[in-house]
Each structure stands twice: as structure tokens, then as C-alpha cells.
Structure 1
């Protein structure tokens, strides 16, 4: 039985209507070619003016459609998932603040307004990650917010650097930034900010850690809000990437991120972390194709990926709910027999993620890989793109094998059911989008299709690598039968822990700072400063106060003693 929550239902309706409005206006904009600026002059100080600028074009409106649609489905899903939660209204408020920060980031052309949305995302994500208040959630939340603070600092530095231009409207000065060497530093700062928010190497550790949040939050964060903010910002700054040397460094890091997360997902056993690593892999793909100069393709893949990734997390949440909060895929198996409706959604979202023909992911992923084949790139880029695509099928096959096809390995089968109408309705809506959105957005975003001429072998190269990836996934699942436990432990330690990036980027940095601060505390705070400062003064005051205390309570004795002493001295003299 569901308790009526009018705030929740109003939020769902409002966001759904907003998504429809974004879809209609975005389609109108792309067909008519219109773009709208709304500018408010807030403050003018000497030669610098602070204007609040909102920019409405087809891209921002389509992104509004995606964010609002997924948010409405996530809040509707939360009605069942968070049922019985004492602080459900706080949770809904936080989700709405999260979406509002993202919308502010989407429509802003002013770097200061972007920073407000950017910082809002980081702050609210911290509040959502620590929603279940325990030690693990707090550690994950601190890691998330501190990693994102690096990006905030980079944006603040770029704002101070743009003070020389007289305004913070970056689109007005984007050509100046591109031609002047002095202004190219802004691009480096913006790229570093985007890398922290989209969790590229070496800032990848926080993304799997953020899984401590409730599953509806993970669904929202990993599909259309927090992690896509960095990609969206770089799409807005794409003119600066063309003639910048930093573009090549970002391409290498993005490809390494894509490769590393694909490998790690094949050795992970936590259901939510596997899906989080798949998000990291897709973010690397978006960043890579953006660095090759195809910003529209990056946005296209970002849009299609959002639909099936939100659905994938919703299905994972329903499975975890039914398994008494167990996330280990080794204790699953045969779920398709007991949860057929949820399993259908789970399989469809996984197939869309792999890029199976005519699903949502196929239209963007296949086009990206054919563009890579058609472009003038070297064998290293080719290897990273295609092998990482094979890894996508690999960890998806492994996940499906453990959860669906393997024999039942559960403690209690009678707990499993998929009769929750609210969860299923929100899933079915996103399932339709996971099937249709690729074709729909393909017609809308690219009215003139890319025509790519390739040889027969190259045309089938994608399918060849998908087949090889599936074979690799099967081999990874069977490794336990080949190697002994010690070798398996070493393999899982290196590959399953993201090439030790969490250890290097967290403990490698933290331990140096913590050791230094410990030594400073021992030498200064608990050492010389204490000895010469506070402790020394404390001891002196204690001595004086004891003397005063002694004189106060023994005044008559002392008076008689001194009187007799002086009298005796005088008598002797």
C-alpha cells in the first residue's frame, strides 16, 4: 500500500511536462535553425560586467528533455523504492535541487552561472551519497565531493583569468581564446574541470565509490546529470579543442579510461559497480570522439546512453531490493524464471548498451566506430576504440550469465517477485526510449545522415569485435577453472581495482599529506609551540595561582611567621 505524497506526484508531473516542452521546442529549433539569448545585466564594476545569460538552442533543449524525463521517472520509481523511508521529502527536495543545478548548467553561457550549477551538482551529490548515514557512505561522499572540488577550483581560476576580457560570456570571446596563446590557459582549466566531473583518469576513483547512494540517485547521476556535465561543458567549448595541443592528451586519457574501466568491469562482482564502470567506459568513448572533432556525435551518444543507463540502474535496484540488499552477482542466477518482467527490461537495457542492431545504443555507437574507421587515425586509437567496444559486450555477457543464465544460487527464492506496478511503469517507459530513442534522435539531430563508404571487412569489423568481446567475457568467467587461487587473487587485485588508481590517487596523495601534517603536529602543535606557548603559559599561571591560593588560605599563619622572623632578625642584629 502506497502513502499519497502530493509533493512527489507534483514533482513527477512538473518534470514530465518540462521534458515534453523541451522535446517540442528542441525539435522546432533544429528545424527552423533558431537560437535564443536571454540576457540580464546584473552588476557592472569598472570595465567588467556580470550578465546572466541563458542560451536556448536545440542541444540545450534536447538535453533538458532527457534530464527532465529521466528525473521524472526516477522520482516516480522512488515512490516504491524508498517506501517506508522516514525522510522521503528530504530525498525528493535533494533530487529536485540536483535537477535544478543541472538545468542551470545546461542553459548558462556565463562562467559564473555555470559555476553555480557546477558547484550545486557537487554539493547536492555529496548530500545524496551520504543519504544512508554510515561510515562507508561518508567516505564515498567525501571522496566524491573532494574530487569534484578540484574541478570547481579550475573553473574559479578560469573565471579569474577571463576577468581580462571584461565579461564571462565565453561564447562571445571563444575566437579570441582560440587565437591568443595567453587565453589558451582557459581551455586547459576547463578541460581539467571536465575531467574531474566526468571521472577521467586520474580522477576515476570517485565514480564507483558514489554507488553508496540510493539506487534511484545512481540512476540519475550516471545517466544524465553529474557525470555528463563535464562532457556537455566540453561540447560547449568544442571550438577551443580544435587547435589545442591539450586535445591530444585528453584523447589519450579518455581512451585509457575507456579501456581501463572495460577491463575492470570484467573482474568486478558488485552489480552496481559493474554498471558504474560501464558508465565510465561510455564517458571515455564520448570524450574520445569529442577530441576527434565530432561534438554532435558525442552529444548523440550522450543522449541515447542516458536512456538505457537509467533503465539499467532501475533494474539493478529492483533486483537488489528483491535479494535483501545483496549486490554480489555470484549469489544470483536464474532470475529470469522468477522475475520475468524485470528481466526483460534488464536484458533490453544491456543489449542497448552493447550496441545490438536497431536498439538505442546501436545508432550512436556504430556511427562512432565507423567514423573512427573512416578518419585518419593510427592503430593505437583504432585498437582502444574497438577493443573497448568488445569489452562492453564482454562484461555485459558476464553479467547476464551470472544473473540470468547460471543455475539458481540464492538463499531464498520465495522473496523474488516483480509485481510492483510503480517500478514496472517507470521501467517500461524507459524501455520504450531505450528501443526508440536512437532512431528518433538520429532523425532529429542529423537530418542529413553521415554517408560512410567502407570495405565489406571494415563494415563488419564492429560485429567481429563484438563477437570477440563476447568470447573474452566467457573466458574471463571461466578463469577460475584454469588458474589457482593465488594467481586469480593477483589478477583480480590489479585489474579489478582499476589498475590501483584508487590506491594511487587517494592513498598515494592522502598519505603524503597526512604524514606531513602528523609530523608538523608532533613538532609544532604538540612540540615547540606547545612547550614555548600554551603549555608554558599554563604551567606558569598554575604556579602563580597555586601561590596565590596558598597565601589566601594561610594569610594569618604567614603573617605571624614573617613577623616572628623579622623580629628574630632584628633581635640578632
Structure 2
């Protein structure tokens, strides 16, 4: 417990310091690059570079603040764990890797943080040691390794510039062929780390980790690392890179919203909503709105962290049951937690004057004003409608109706430590959107739209809420077996078959084909016509020759008798 409190106070104090400095740097338009010489041998020096600007300080402040609340929350959530200190140390290493990535202007030191995130995330996903966790951890680690390969290749290409400090070359070299290659590789790395199509399947699988880890991963650390890196490289994005990122991001946003509407696992629904918001950030970033992408990244981090903490409190009270069909009427047992849960969900939907509204509504209006294509406009508003649909469906299942679990239950709001951890974030969920809009957006966005286009967001939200309510009622009217038979095999409900491609596709199906090949060819026709056939043929002939050699006198006598018989027959 003492280790938890030490880390909690350390993270909290440093987060306040970082936020204060970021607002100061923002108002002064100030940046500092600190170079610390680590080793110097014969004029060859190894230098550690640190970039302090408003973006890195603001993001690190959010990461440290959320981490402090998650560590405090873990005091009660992980209370029965026998290796609590190991868990807290892993979380601290996770946060340290993220901070190294945030503050580094150098690709080599970013790689340390990037790989640190991948390695520690593997250790956290397999924390509960069972087959499901091991499979999820391996899928997470191997998918992220694909991005690490692209990262290493971009480091090799940076040798063309004579330095790995990429921030010095973003403006001057943004039209060179080498920088185009580096940005394309960074795009690939960012897509794997932020789980864009076709690398999306590891994100719901990573839910095997403890809920405090999920809260940290899905709000401000692992999945946001790719978005943050691409925000840094936004000045160099050419036409083709931006087009690919826009298409992939918008498709991911749509796919995740559709998948969450068919999911029943509470944590997976929230994970898919994270994936949807990551697609939103990536697509607006590809259209040049890097400040908007960063703005939504920060507001999303707050309500998504609290959303996972509320889900964790519910799961904790229900004896580790995550299926929303077991829930219902939770507002009667856990009123405070459900209140936080509803506020976060409303912020996710973009309810006016909550933090999510300021960033999400601004992004939708910017997309409406800067009309790119009918595909982009349609998929943005359809995805927003799906977000509201799965949110209302989730609230309907969890909060309303009757309690569907054991009659002897212990679901209550008496976990004061977890409640205090959640109270620390709820005020920021409500207020931080407006505060950031005043601080970050130095020039106000003047968006002039016709009345119908201006009201399009509200219309889509209302339609999405109605669809979610109807979907929840329809599924409750069916028994679970028939519902599972109808929906679990659907193309939409399975993330467009991506989990089958990335898990079954890379291990089960190749192994199954190998078994058939081994049985049908290796031990089948090749044995019949190959080695075994030669063995049986040669051994048969050798046995026959051996019989002849062992009985040569008999053979000669038989041949002599036969010769005499034929001779006599010939005479007569």
C-alpha cells in the first residue's frame, strides 16, 4: 500500500507541475530543447535530447494525472492480489515509457519508449495467468512488433539527414523523397500502435488485462502513442499518406461503432468505442487538423479513463462478471458509480457543455465546412450516430430495468477508495473541454453553415439514440441462445472477420492445413510412392535374391530336372 501511495503522490504532483508549465509555455509560445551529453569518446558524443513545448507538457500532465488516479483506484481494486507491488511497478514502467516517448525529439530515444510500451503492455495483458490472457498478450505483442519494424526502418532512413532529431527536419525537408519514406513508415507504425484497420483485432483482445490497466491503456498511453507520433509528423504528410490515413481512419471509426452495437462484453464495448475515437482522431489529423486531433485526444483521455474505472467498479461488485445481460437496474445498487458512468457516456456522445462536446462537435462542423467528399461526410455522421446507438444500448442494459444477477448480491457503492479515484476525474470530464478550448485554440474557429447542416449533428445524435434503444429492446426480446446464433456469426459483429484473420488466420488455419498435408502427403502418397515404397520394393527383391543364394544347389537340381523333362518332351 505504501508503494501505491508514493506513486500516487509523485504522479499527482508532477502532473500539476506539468499542466502549469504547459499553460505557461502556451501563453508565451515557448519551446525548449535540452541536450544532455551521456557519453563522449574522441569527439563522438551520445546526447539525450528532451523537447519541452506546450504539446508535450500538456499531454504528459494528462498522462500523469490519469495515472495517479488509476494507481489510487488500484489500491482497492487489486487489494486481494498477492503481488500488488509488482503490479504497481509495471504500471510505473508503463507510464515512464510513455513519458520517454512524449518528451523525445529523437527517434532513438522514442524507440526506447515505444518498445517499452510494447514490452510492458505484454506483461500487463498476461498478468492474470490463463490461456486467454496468454493468447491476447501474444497477439498484442506480435501486432505491435510489425510497427516496430517500420520504426527501425525509419531510423535507418533518418541517417540520410545525419541526425535522428526529427524535429529539426520537419519544416526544411518536408518535400524530400527521404522524408516521404520516413513518414510512410511512421504511418505504418502509428497504425499498428493505434490499432487501425487491418491491425484492429488486438485492441479488444487486450481487455484480458486488469481493469486499471485497461483504463490507462485506452485513455492516454499505449493506443494514443501512434496518434501522438503522427501529430508530431503532421507537417510532412503528403497527399498519398494523408489519403490513406483518411480512408483507414474513417473505416476504422465506422467498423468499431458497428462492432460495439453487437457486443455484450462490457469492457469490449468500451474498447471498441476507444477504437472508434482513434479512427476519428486519425481521420481529422489526415485532413490537416492536428490541433483538433490533439484536443480530442486529451478530452477523450479523461472520460474514457473514468468510463473504464466505472466499469471496473461494476465488474468488481458483480464477482468478475462482464456480460451486460447479467446487469440491469445498477442505478439502484450503485447510484454514484452509475451517475459517473452516464456522464462519461454522454460526454462520449457529445452532450453539450461536457468535455467531449467541445472537441467532437467542432470536428464534425469543420468536416461539414471543409467539404471533401460525400464518402467522408456520410461516414463521419453515420459513425457519430453509431456511437450514440451503442452508448444508449449500453446504458439501457446496465442502468435500467431489473437486476439480472444473483438474488444474494453485494453490489454497492461502499468502495470508497475507488469512488475517490473516480471523483478526482469527474470534474475534469465536465470542465476540461471548455478550459482547453480557451487555452489551446488561440484563434476561434468561425464556422458558418446552413441551418440544416448545423443541425445535422443533433439530428444524427437523436436518430442514433433511438436506434440504440430499439436495438436493446429487440435483443432483450430474444432468448440468449437464439440471439447468439443470430448475431454472433454476423460479419459486422465480428469486426469484419479481422480477429479470425489475425488469430485463426495465422495459427489455426495454417496448422490445420499442415496437419492435412502431413497426413495426406508426408505420411500418405509420398510414403506410398516414395521412401516406404522404395524400401518395400528393394527389401522384397533382396529377400528373393537371398533365398536363391541360400538354396542354389536345389535351384540347379530343379533346373536340371526341368531341362531333362523338356528334352524328353522334345524328342517325342
Q: Which residue of 1 aligns with 2:310?
A: 315
Q: Which residue of 2 aligns with 1:334?
A: 329
CA contact (8 A) 1:140 1:212 kept: yes
Q: 1:310 to 1:259 in 2, by over 3 A?
A: same
Q: 2:108 aligns with which of 89, 94, 112?
A: 112
Separation of aligned partners in 2, 1:428 and 1:82:
19
User: After superposition, what is the alpha-carbon deviation per residue over 1:96-140, rounded to whole angstroms, capped at 9, x for unaligned?
Assistant: 000000000000010010000000000000000111111111110
Shift of 1:6: 1.4
Separation of aligned partners in 2, 1:224 and 1:388:
22
Aligned pairs for 1:132-171 within 5 A: 132-171=128-167
CA contact (8 A) 2:175 2:236 kept: no
Q: Which residue of 1 aligns with 2:566?
A: none
Separation of aligned partners in 2, 1:177 and 1:246:
16
Separation of aligned partners in 2, 1:157 and 1:235:
20
Q: Which residue of 2 aligns with 1:209?
A: 205
Q: 2:47 aligns with which of 51, 59, 62?
A: 51
Name the SS of the counterpart of 1:444 in structure 2: helix
Q: Which residue of 2 aligns with 1:393?
A: 388
**TM-score of the two chains, using structure 1 as the length reference:** 0.87
Q: Does 1:230 align with 2:226?
A: yes
CA contact (8 A) 2:318 2:409 kept: no
Name the SS of the counterpart of 1:222 in structure 2: helix
Q: 2:491 aligns with which of 494, 507, 514?
A: 494
CA contact (8 A) 1:29 1:58 kept: yes
Q: Does 1:350 align with 2:356?
A: no
CA contact (8 A) 1:51 1:110 kept: no
CA contact (8 A) 1:49 1:166 kept: no
Shift of 1:503: 0.7
CA contact (8 A) 2:100 2:113 kept: yes
Aligned pairs for 1:495-510 within 5 A: 495-510=492-507
Q: Which residue of 2 aligns with 1:255?
A: 250
Separation of aligned partners in 1, 2:41 and 2:376:
48
Aligned pairs for 1:24-423 within 5 A: 24-42=20-38, 51-175=47-171, 177-241=173-237, 243-412=238-407, 414-423=409-418
Deviates further, 296-305 or 464-473: 464-473
Structure 2: state its 5+ residue gaps: 532-572
Separation of aligned partners in 2, 1:411 and 1:490:
26
Shift of 1:506: 2.8
Q: 1:266 to 1:150 in 2, by over 3 A?
A: same
CA contact (8 A) 1:147 1:206 kept: yes
CA contact (8 A) 2:392 2:465 kept: yes
Name the SS of the counterpart of 1:200 in structure 2: coil
User: After superposition, what is the alpha-carbon deviation per residue over 1:278-308, rounded to whole angstroms, capped at 9, x for unaligned?
Assistant: 0000000000100010000000000000000
Q: 1:246 to 1:511 in 2, by over 3 A?
A: farther
Q: Which residue of 2 aligns with 1:540?
A: none
User: After superposition, what is the alpha-carbon deviation per residue over 1:294-333, rounded to whole angstroms, capped at 9, x for unaligned?
Assistant: 0000000000000000000000000001111110101111
Separation of aligned partners in 2, 1:169 and 1:150:
23
Shift of 1:180: 1.7
CA contact (8 A) 2:475 2:483 kept: no
Shift of 1:512: 6.3
CA contact (8 A) 1:48 1:163 kept: no
Shift of 1:488: 5.8
Shift of 1:175: 3.8
CA contact (8 A) 2:259 2:494 kept: yes
Separation of aligned partners in 1, 2:436 and 2:451:
27
Shift of 1:492: 5.0
Separation of aligned partners in 2, 1:519 and 1:165:
52
